[in-house]
Structures are given as C-alpha cells and as structure tokens.
A = this chain, B = another copy of it.
Amino acid sequence: MRFYGHWRSLATYRVRVAINLKGIDVEVMPIDLLGKEHLGEHYHSINPQGLLPALDVGSGPALFQSMAIIEYIDDMFPNPPLLPSDPLGKARVRALAQIIAADSHPLMVPRVRNYLTEELGLDADGVQKWIHRFVMPALETCEEILTANSTSSLYCYGDTPGLADIFLASHVIGAGFFKCDLSKLPRVLQIYENCSKLEAFAKAHPLKQPGAPTSI
C-alpha cells in the first residue's frame, strides 16, 4: 500500500498512528504540503479533493479522508481493534472522533487560515483568536464527556487505544502548534500522555517525521 502524506498534516498523523498500531508495512509517499504539491496535477490524480492523506490500496482509486481510511484499516486488519465491538460503543467512539474531525479541526486548516489572512486581512492575533474560538470548545466538550463517561479509562474508551484517541491526540498536537492553553483539561492531557507513551503514537508525531523541524 502507498501512503501519501506530509509531516505537518494532522490528518496524515492520524492514519500514521493507525498504521503503526496495526503494524502494517506501507510505502510512504511524501507530498510537499508547504510547497503546495497537494494542489498540483499529480496529486489531483491520486486524490481529487487535493487534501492529505491518501492511501492507495492497489484496487481502484486511492482512499482518502482520515476517518474513512482508519476504519478501512480496522476492517482489513482487525487486531488490535480500534473500535469497540458493540454498536453503542462504536457510536460513542465515532462521536468523539467526529467532534474533532467535523466540528473543530476543519476550522484551523491552512486554506481557512489563508482566507482569514489573505481575504479578510486578519493579523496573527486575529488568527490566533479564531483558532482559540473553534479549537477550545471541542476539547472542552471532550474533557466533559471523558470525565463523566464510565467507559473512559486509560484511553477514551476502555484500556486500549483506538479511533477516538487518535483524533484526540491529533487535536492536542494541533492545539499545541497554536499555543492553546490546555491546562484546564486534565483528562484530555492525561489521555494524550497515555497515548504518547506508546511507540505507535510517539513515532508518528509530526515533528518526528523526515523533513520536519524540531519545534513549531
């Protein structure tokens, strides 16, 4: 399988963690996000949406969208499972992931930040305020749910890492890139710390990838 991504992309990070947790061999195909290679003709032929990551599984067009790719990986390589086996557990894990994937992360991506600065003339403080406005409520909701929910333990759901942890970790890292203060979210930070102790998460970190700087 060929895995197209970039060190800076948090959606790429999510799939990288899943690949690591499953112990799958993939051929890494770097796409230069900062050089806008993802917007070029070559990558368009791989993913018409022009977003990272994509996974070419050797059968038809490459897969894209991090959540769809991770669920595919989980279907094809069932051990260790990234979702609970019961429908209710699945729904709770998917909902946590979607709080981040659908309601928060899309507000902080480069094309949105570029529109804010280039079209609306926001300065760095304005962008920071925007990101804070749309990143913090999602993580605060996760904190509340993870604190109240008896199904959460070492990780978002039980004592094994899964889909929700992957999305939560990607958002904690993203919030860190933008200096958001997460000190009032101890449950989120504890789960992120538990994830970070696992090699699958640690070695997937954006700043551990080839070409990445040591800090942002």
Say yes or no: is A91 at the interface (Cβ < 8 Å to chain B).
yes
Identical subunits present: 2
Whether B61 contacts A149 by the Cβ 8 Å rule is yes
With a cutoff of 8 Å between Cβ atoms, the chain B residues found around residue A72 in the complex are: 87-88, 90-91
A130 to chain B, nearest CB (A): 7
Q: Which of A102-110, A170-178, A191-199, A202-210 contacts B (4 or more CB under 8 A)?
A: A102-110
Interface centre among A106, A115, A126 (most CB of B within 10 A): A106
Residue of B48, B103, B149 near A51 (CB, 8 A) is: B103
Whether A102 contacts B65 by the Cβ 8 Å rule is yes
Whether A68 contacts B98 by the Cβ 8 Å rule is yes
Whether B63 contacts A95 by the Cβ 8 Å rule is yes
With a cutoff of 8 Å between Cβ atoms, the chain B residues found around residue A51 in the complex are: 103
Q: Which chain A residues numbered 55 to 110 have a C-beta less than 8 Å away from chain B?
A: 57, 59-61, 63-65, 67-69, 71-72, 75-76, 87-88, 90-92, 94-95, 98-99, 101-107
* CA–CA, A144 and B122, complex, Å: 33
A-B contact pairs, 27 of them (CB 8 A): A48-B144, A48-B145, A48-B148, A49-B137, A60-B88, A61-B92, A61-B149, A63-B95, A65-B94, A65-B95, A68-B90, A68-B94, A69-B95, A71-B91, A72-B88, A72-B91, A75-B87, A76-B87, A101-B102, A102-B106, A106-B106, A107-B107, A107-B112, A112-B134, A119-B129, A119-B133, A120-B126
Q: A residues near B, CB below 8 A?
A: 48-51, 57, 59-61, 63-65, 67-69, 71-72, 75-76, 87-88, 90-92, 94-95, 98-99, 101-107, 112, 115, 119-120, 122, 126, 129-130, 133-134, 137-138, 141, 144-145, 148-149
